Amino acid sequence: MNIVAPNISTDRPATPPVIRPLDEAAINRIAAGEVVERPASAVKELVENALDAGASRIAIDIADGGKTLIRVTDDGCGMTAADLPLAIARHATSKIDGSDLLNIHSFGFRGEALASLGSVGRLTLTSRAQGHDAAQISVAGGRVGDVRPAALTRGTVVELRDLFYATPARLKFLRTDRAETQAIAEVVRRLAMAEPHVGFTLTDTTDGDSRLLFRADPQSGDFFDALHGRLTGILGADFTQNALRIDIPRDGLHLTGYAALPTYSRGSGAQQFVFVNGRPVLDKLLLGALRVAYYDFLSRDRHPAAVLNLICDPQRVDVNVHPAKAEVRFREPDAARSLIITGLRTAVSGAGHRASTTVADETLAALRPARPVYQMDRPSQASFARAFTFQAPAPPPDSAPGFAEAPTGRIEERSAASDESHASHPLGAARAQLHENYIIAQTETGIVIVDQHAAHERLVYERLKRQMDESGITAQALLIPEIIELSPTDAARLLDAAATLAEIGLRVEPFGGNAIAVRETPAILGAVNAAALIRDVLDELADAGHSTNIRARIDAVLSRMACHGSIRSGRQMRAEEMNALLREMEATPHSGQCNHGRPTYVELKLHDIERLFGRR
């Protein structure tokens, strides 16, 4: 296959090119390329305008993935007839006065969205403010029509048809209708999480059919109750049942939302939603902090689930980084990052030994037969009682008449003292050990099955981490310092972080030019390739601005040590040993999952067990 290079002339022109201003239509189309990348971008801008107008209900109608129709209807404050020409003009807005571009309290503020949409599509804006008559204005391909009377009860209706008809080349870069519809639905879901007190509907009207794609009714109560209800409807009850409430203020920052337990992990980052002052963002710093907060609880192929909103003074964050407003820049990025990491770790630690309910659900699903089993009509309770009496073992001759219980398997004789001291605990009292690895415990409401090796491995690991935190990380001096040549940027970045690296046992010093000298490494890592370690640290510093790589390696060593120092599978345990293990699990944070993110125990409620056997 021959690839022909583009014919780009490198000859200098005989006369200098003439500098001339672009016309308004060209300017708007260029701006539209930044603001409106696809139909989902248009929906985002229009819905954010509706939220800024104080809407309590927002309806979005689309057709053909938003390519032929996007209509957003709201019940907000509306606009007067005099406002309409200004609303579709570039850089005209009611949300800021231009004196302070950091003091922003609204979703929109640039005054570009409607002008950009009108330059690449056919836009009709109908609105009515309280005490005024409704009015309408249209703009197609940048050509503005006259304001005319209209019929509307309240609020605003923005209708955008034939998106990119004025720039047909852009249509070639759009994806299928289904993919564009999914992108629109994702935008609406994120905005619905940001505003749980507002109602949203998304309807597909392609080919004249009306198909409801998404609905979120307004939630009542305080913010956390409303958000809990909204997330239940969007992410499902499994998420909210296994999510921890996050409400952590610190140093003028406030982290709110819900973060799932480590055992409720996902195969991708699809359930990670981050907001700044209620604005949905895709911020690398914040998402990286979320990943770091869970790194000690999840394996590399698992991802945490969380919906987090970082609230701060608008002066401390710049949302005017990009026209799409999906990126932000913090004045104190380390403070924001630290709050997320420490806040989430504190919340997870506060959950103690708790594991997600989905672990039990998956266990029950595995126990149920894969194929439906035919059953006769259910007998009456009296019939059941007669059958049980008939099948019961005969009582000894010297005993009183009546039903006799069959003996149950147990490791030793049960005592009243043991029952009283252990059965009321969350993980119950040990009753048996199966296959020399699984402890069966009885609780007041069901049973618990514990993987003794995985559980004790986590307990030993947490104990080792506590000891290391108390005594510090010992550094070992290299007999001959290792000299590593770096680029000027990498050398400066590494030396800027030298003090932090020294706290975790890695001491580096400048060695002239762009070279650095590695003089000490963490002793617990043993013999390491210092050059490879430094490059790993540099990669993380470039990606997140802060390195957890060394601490992650140290924790990995502690994890391996814990694995070798824990109770092995195949070892028989006495009742007191099993109960001591259960009590320590209850008192140790993170004991609900092993060092690799797997659950250490499964709890089955009695009513679920009875349902398995057709008793309910």
The contacts found for 461-468 with CB under 8 angstroms, 24 or more apart, are 461/558, 461/559, 461/562, 461/595, 462/588, 462/589, 462/590, 462/591, 463/562, 464/558, 464/561, 464/562, 465/555, 465/558, 468/524, 468/554, 468/558
Per-residue model confidence (pLDDT) at position 388: 44
Q: Which CATH number fits domain 24-216: 3.90.1300.10, 3.30.565.10, 3.90.580.10, 3.40.50.10540?
A: 3.30.565.10
Give CA angle at 129 (125, 135), nearest 5°.
40
Amino acid in position 62: I
Q: What value does the mean pLDDT take over residues 111-125?
A: 86
DSSP summary character for residue 577? H
Per-residue model confidence (pLDDT) at position 195: 95
Q: What value does the mean pLDDT take over residues 496-509?
A: 85
| Top-confidence residue, 268 or 301 | 268
> From its phi and psi, is residue 614 left (phi > 0), alpha (psi between -120 and 50) or beta?
left
Cα–Cα dist 45/66, whole Å: 13
Which class for 311: exposed (0-12), middle (13-18), buried (19 or more C-beta within 10 A)?
middle
CATH class of 223-351: alpha beta
Handedness of CA 105, 107, 112, 118 (dihedral sign): negative
The model carries a pTM of 0.72
Q: Lowest-pLDDT range, 87-91, 186-190, 192-196, 405-409? A: 405-409
Q: What value does the mean pLDDT take over residues 367-372?
A: 56
Name the nearest CA neighbour of 51 among 70, 35, 74.
74
How far from 370 is each of 320, 364, 535, 615, CA to CA, in Å?
54, 12, 50, 19
Name the nearest CA neighbour of 252 among 172, 332, 178.
332
For the chain, give me the number of helices (H) and strands (E)? Answer: 20, 23
Per-residue model confidence (pLDDT) at position 554: 72
Cα–Cα dist 386/173, whole Å: 73
Please name the residues in contact with 326: beta carbons below 8 A apart, sequence gap of 6 or more: 280, 281, 282
Per-residue model confidence (pLDDT) at position 391: 45
| Range of 5-19, 40-54, 386-400 with top mean pLDDT | 40-54
Q: What value does the mean pLDDT take over residues 442-447?
A: 90
| Top-confidence residue, 5 or 193 | 193
Asked if the model's pLDDT at residue 8 lies above 60, the reply is no
| Range of 52-61, 106-115, 545-554 with top mean pLDDT | 52-61
Amino acid in position 409: G
Per-residue model confidence (pLDDT) at position 611: 80
DSSP summary character for residue 254? E
Q: What value does the mean pLDDT take over residues 494-521?
A: 88
Q: How many residues does the chain have?
A: 616
Q: What value does the mean pLDDT take over residues 90-116?
A: 61
How far from 383 is each of 289, 379, 380, 402, CA to CA, in Å?
61, 6, 5, 17
Asked if the model's pLDDT at residue 118 lies above 50, the reply is yes
Q: Lowest-pLDDT range, 17-26, 150-159, 216-225, 456-465? A: 17-26
Looking at domain 352-367+414-616, its CATH superfamily turns out to be MutL, C-terminal domain, regulatory subdomain (3.30.1370.100)
Please name the residues in contact with 94: beta carbons below 8 A apart, sequence gap of 6 or more: none
The upper half-sphere exposure of residue 575, i.e. CA atoms within 13 Å in the direction of its Cβ, equals 17
Per-residue model confidence (pLDDT) at position 157: 97
Pairing of strands 317-318, 279-281: unpaired
Cα–Cα dist 490/300, whole Å: 26
Cα–Cα dist 280/277, whole Å: 9
Using one digit for the tens of pLDDT, what is the confidence trace for 430-444? Answer: 999 998 899 999 998
Handedness of CA 234, 239, 244, 249 (dihedral sign): negative
Annotated domain spans of the chain: 24-216, 223-351, 352-367+414-616
Band (pLDDT 50/70/90 cuts) for residue 344 is very high
Q: How far apart are the first and last CA of the chain?
A: 69
**Token pair recorded at residue 80:** 């007067």
**Token pair recorded at residue 566:** 């824990």
Using one digit for the tens of pLDDT, what is the confidence trace for 247-297? Answer: 999 999 999 999 998 888 888 889 999 999 998 988 888 998 998 888 888
Q: DSSP letter string over 76-126?
A: S----TTTHHHHTSTT--SS--SS-SS---SS--SS-HHHHHHHHSEEEEE
Name the nearest CA neighbour of 404 among 416, 390, 424, 419.
390
| SS3 of residue 322 by DSSP | coil
Phi then psi dihedrals of residue 476, to 5 deg: -110, 130
Cα–Cα dist 563/568, whole Å: 9
Band (pLDDT 50/70/90 cuts) for residue 325 is low
**Token pair recorded at residue 452:** 């003794």
Q: What value does the mean pLDDT take over residues 387-391?
A: 46
| Range of 112-116, 385-389, 603-607 with top mean pLDDT | 603-607
Q: What value does the mean pLDDT take over residues 510-518?
A: 92
Per-residue model confidence (pLDDT) at position 339: 94
Cα–Cα dist 318/394, whole Å: 80
Phi then psi dihedrals of residue 360, to 5 deg: -65, -40
Q: Give the DSSP H or E segment for 356.
A: none
Cα–Cα dist 210/206, whole Å: 7
